[in-house]
Amino acid sequence: MLRDFTAVDVTPEVRSAALRLIERLRGAAAKVTWTKAANLHYTLKFLGDVQAEKTPEICRAVQEAAAPFSPFQIVATGAGAFPSLSHLQTLWLGVGDGAEQMELLFQAVERLLEPLGFAREHRRFAPHLTLGRVRGGNPAGFKELAELIRKHADFDAGPMTVSSVTVFSSILAADGPTYSALSHAALRG
């Protein structure tokens, strides 16, 4: 069994900017598991536990979904939290310009993976790069972290070109997950 997901990898420039944002948020007295630099990406669809023999089908479906799209620009911008700033769980860097194209890419991936047994998402797609997951702390620490996120709501990590979708496998370990790229599907439109 593999834990698979589809994602858009980030450029070194966006990765560096995301790490600067993490450093700014790290000062709050909340317990957060921060995302490792190598693991920063924009998730399109989480697939969960998948039989290894299903991987070639998944990779083909993602290639078929990505192929009609032309490479497009996004701007990595805006700090926020799911489900909200008053109930911090997942800290993220969003997408400004290009969010609509990212959503169309997500919909294409989802549409072509559905026949393989992957149910459609019930939540609205919100393109985001996970910076960290809140694990605990005291009310003052949560408030401090929410205030730091609010302060960086307009954080600009810069533009990047989305030119492919990657199918990743995730191996969970005590020091966090390690991701391996299984395939890259180019946007060829």
Q: Which domain holds residue 69?
A: 2-186
pLDDT tens per residue, range 10-26: 999 999 999 999 999 99
> Which whole-number Å values give the CA distances from 180 to 128, 166, 170, in the listed order?
20, 10, 7
So what's the pLDDT on residue 176? Answer: 81
* Beta strand spans in the chain (E): 2-9, 30-34, 41-50, 72-84, 87-95, 129-137, 156-162, 164-171, 178-186
Catalytic residue (one of 87, 122, 128, 152):
128
Residues 111-160 pLDDT 10s: 999 999 999 999 899 999 999 999 988 889 999 999 999 999 999 999 99
Q: Which CATH number is 100's domain given?
A: 3.90.1140.10
What would the pLDDT profile of 91-112 be if each residue is shown by its tens digit? 999 999 999 999 999 999 999 9
Known catalytic residue: 128? Answer: yes
The pLDDT tens digits for 33-82 are: 999 999 999 999 999 999 999 999 999 999 999 999 999 999 999 999 99
Known active-site residue 41: yes
Instruction: Give the count of domains, the chain.
Output: 1
